[in-house]
């Protein structure tokens, strides 16, 4: 489904503006932060957002306001009530498709934007079309089900094939870990950490361990995992400010990538630790070896039995470690 234009602008801004005039005024306050050449790159680019829930949904609006005008949006999921604590939706949006609503938000900001929506998500039938026209990929595909991991790996394989930079993220309690796989330079999905065989056969905990280095998992998340990893009904905790942090970090990375500049391949922001008083920060750091030591036997068990723990709370969308 493709939508290019909506009705003319509201009289609140003086009636309809031509597309070029509208874009100039929309992005006027970017000047001084976004260079003129970078703004032109944003104007011309197409961005694929695969998975429009927590982290994918968090980047759509910042990119639209920065000046991206062409989006490809994909997500098979619909909003559930438990999504509203962190995702860009309201109670009126429950049971509606996430990609479709993300497209509506884009066009509500910029009626001249071009948005192509795939409510099927990332599949063997859609992945070619999804990646055909984009210059950057945002990977927000679910990681709590085997099907999600298979779709995520399929997306990364096509990013490698098309030599596209891909940004993904993992919210872990108060920490957002953003990873850029620049497949213009990297020639294997997940930089070789996860193969197609792994995505098909390994359990969720082992896949997460390979995707997120243990050094980036915050102490409070280690505590949470240790207390709940054996529960079959467990759902990862996710909060609004951590998901929003992905939108903040990744939207700036997109600007740099489209401008032909390089970015750090890893960015980690621990909101909880940043806000704690210094004494509490030190106590949290001191507790980390204790939590790691307590969790180590379970990590070793997963290494010996990599098919264990396929997914907690299957069907829940999330991006936890």
Q: 129-144: per-residue pLDDT in tens?
A: 999 999 999 999 999 8
User: Exposure pattern of 153-172 as b/e (b: 16+ CB <10 Å)?
Assistant: bbbbbbbbeeebbbbbbbbb
Could you tell me the pTM of the whole model? 0.89
Distance CA 143, CA 243 (A): 15
Model confidence at 315, in pLDDT bands (50, 70, 90)?
very low
Domain 2-304 fold: Rossmann fold (3.40.50)
Among candidate residues 245, 133, 257, 251, the one with its CA nearest the CA of residue 183: 257
Q: Which two tokens stand for residue 102?
A: 């993300």
Task: DSSP for 158-213, please give it.
Answer: HHHHHT-EEEEEEEETTEEEEEEEETTT--SGGGGTS-HHHHHHS-HHHHHHHHS-
Model confidence at 318, in pLDDT bands (50, 70, 90)?
very low
Model confidence at 299, in pLDDT bands (50, 70, 90)?
low
The pLDDT value recorded for residue 9 is 46
Asked if the model's pLDDT at residue 14 lies above 60, the reply is: no
The pLDDT value recorded for residue 99 is 98
Q: What angle do CA 63, 10, 102 make, to 5 degrees?
A: 30
Distance CA 6, CA 109 (A): 11
pLDDT digits (tens, 9 = 90+) for 95-114: 999 999 999 999 999 999 99
Asked if the model's pLDDT at residue 228 lies above 90, the reply is: no
């Amino acid at each position: 489904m493709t939508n290019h234009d909506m009705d003319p602008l509201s009289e609140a801004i003086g009636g309809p503006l031509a597309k070029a005039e509208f874009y100039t005024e929309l992005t006027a306050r970017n000047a001084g932060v976004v260079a003129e050449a970078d703004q032109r790159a944003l104007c011309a680019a197409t961005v694929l957002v695969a998975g429009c829930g927590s982290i994918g949904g968090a980047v759509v609006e910042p990119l639209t306001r920065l000046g991206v005008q062409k989006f490809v949006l994909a997500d098979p999921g619909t909003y559930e009530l438990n999504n509203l604590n962190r995702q860009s939706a309201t109670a009126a949006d429950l049971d509606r498709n996430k990609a479709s609503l993300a497209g509506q938000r884009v066009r509500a900001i910029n009626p001249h934007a071009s948005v192509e929506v795939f409510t099927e998500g990332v599949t063997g039938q859609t992945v070619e079309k999804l990646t055909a026209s984009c210059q950057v990929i945002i990977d927000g595909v679910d990681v709590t089900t085997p099907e999600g991991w298979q779709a995520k790996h399929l997306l990364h394989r096509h990013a490698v094939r098309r030599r596209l930079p891909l940004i993904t993220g993992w919210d872990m309690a108060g920490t957002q870990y953003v990873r850029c796989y620049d497949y213009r330079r990297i020639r294997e999905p997940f930089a070789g950490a996860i193969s197609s065989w792994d995505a098909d056969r390994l359990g969720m905990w082992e896949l997460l361990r390979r995707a997120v280095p243990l050094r980036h998992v915050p102490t409070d998340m280690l505590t949470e995992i240790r207390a709940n990893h054996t529960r079959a009904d467990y759902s990862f905790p996710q909060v609004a400010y951590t998901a929003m942090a992905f939108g903040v970090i990744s939207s700036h990375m997109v600007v740099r990538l489209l401008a032909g500049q390089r970015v750090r391949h890893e960015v980690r922001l621990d909101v909880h630790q940043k806000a704690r008083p210094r004494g509490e920060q030190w106590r949290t750091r001191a507790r980390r070896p204790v939590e790691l030591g307590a969790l180590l036997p379970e990590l070793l068990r997963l290494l010996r039995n990599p098919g264990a723990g396929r997914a907690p709370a299957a069907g829940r969308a999330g991006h936890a470690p």
